[in-house]
Amino acid sequence: MEKSNENLPEHDRPISTMSGHWLLAKLGKRVLRPGGKELTLKLLEAGDFAHQDVVELAPGLGLTAAEILRCRPKSYRGIDSDPNAASKVNERLNLPGAVLVADATATGLPDNSTDVVFGEAMLTMQGEKAKTKIIQEAFRILRPGGRYIIHELGLTPDDLSPSTKQDIQRALAKAIKVNARPLTDAEWRDKLSDTGFAVRDNTLFAPMRLLQPRRIIADEGLRGAGRFVFNVLRFPAERRRVIEMRRTFIQHQDSLVAVGMIAVKPQ
């Protein structure tokens, strides 16, 4: 595997306990979003990033950050609690200091200071209280009329039974080693509106196919997909984890979906 992977978050953790997204990154998977690159690009188009001050929460490996910069924002700022992740994104973007080391619940940014807050696959990983605190922080730093755009893992349908939700959460926690808490479309909307956001009606949906061959090729390209598969085949412990994650996603694929939402801070 690439030598640079030694600087990834959790690179020194045992394979058996490493968070699923960082394990996939270690193996060469670069797009780690539930709806893939396609949903990200749709959100960037719908969110109108040109000539806007943009804050991205938990930019991960920096792929979306690079896409945001292609939209020609007025400014870009990332917030990541992991120093290694922040350093890698700053290096990737060639913008020293663009990504600050801070918590998404307390960014340190001024009130009403940005036009867009963008976050992908990070609220899902939080408990209910932390979700609320992050959304409140996004609301605080946005100017009136600003947009909070999220790309997260969702559950479907809206009337999914509580027992099924719990089963899915347990299965995801076991497979990806993160206590993921996806919500239904209605629950995500309620979570945002309870903080004061007005959520646009046109939720974007995509199948959650993170480890399906077609999605891997679409996200990574043929060369990147080949590198990822080669690494999975080379390392038995990592391969077992990837197979477990893929099996879990397939088992619950009828109930898992990627959601993209745009919420607006009222004027």
Contact partners, residue 69, CB within 8 Å, separation at least 6: 76, 93
Do residues 238 and 68 touch, judged by C-beta distance below 8 A? no
Predicted confidence band at 6 (pLDDT cuts at 50, 70, 90)? low
Question: Is 3 a residue whose pLDDT tops 50?
Answer: no
Q: How far is CA 108 from CA 58, 77, 140, in A?
A: 15, 12, 11
Q: What percent of the chain has pLDDT over 70?
A: 97
Predicted confidence band at 11 (pLDDT cuts at 50, 70, 90)? confident
Residue 9: its pLDDT value, please?
84
Place of tokens 């090729």: 217
Q: What is the mean pLDDT of residues 15-36?
A: 96
Q: What is the mean pLDDT of residues 135-159?
A: 98
Predicted confidence band at 10 (pLDDT cuts at 50, 70, 90)? confident
Q: How far is CA 147 from the centre of its chain?
A: 17
Classify residue 103 by its DSSP letter. B
Handedness of CA 16, 180, 243, 206 (dihedral sign): negative
Question: Is 5 a residue whose pLDDT tops 80?
Answer: no
Dist. CA 11–CA 75, nearest whole Å: 31
For residue 199, what are the β-bridge partners?
263
Q: What is the mean pLDDT of residues 107-125?
A: 97
Q: What is the mean pLDDT of residues 209-223?
A: 97
Which amino acid makes up residue 241? R
Map out the domains of the chain as residue ranges: 3-264
Dist. CA 114–CA 16, nearest whole Å: 40
Q: What is the mean pLDDT of residues 208-216?
A: 97
Question: Is 133 a residue whose pLDDT tops 90?
Answer: yes
Q: Does domain 3-264 have CATH number 3.40.190.10?
A: no
Mean pLDDT of the chain: 95
Predicted confidence band at 1 (pLDDT cuts at 50, 70, 90)? low
Q: What is the mean pLDDT of residues 184-193?
A: 97
Q: In 3D, which of 183, 152, 188 has the Cα closest to residue 260? A: 152
Residue 12: its pLDDT value, please?
86
Summarize pLDDT for 68-87 with one digit per residue, the tens: 999 999 999 999 999 988 99
Do residues 96 and 69 touch, judged by C-beta distance below 8 A? no
SS3 123: coil
Which amino acid makes up residue 245? M
Contact partners, residue 200, CB within 8 Å, separation at least 6: 261, 262, 263, 264
Q: In 3D, which of 123, 51, 117 has the Cα closest to residue 78? A: 117
Place of tokens 């990822």: 228
Question: Is 237 a residue whose pLDDT tops 90?
Answer: yes
Predicted confidence band at 138 (pLDDT cuts at 50, 70, 90)? very high
Do residues 24 and 11 touch, judged by C-beta distance below 8 A? no
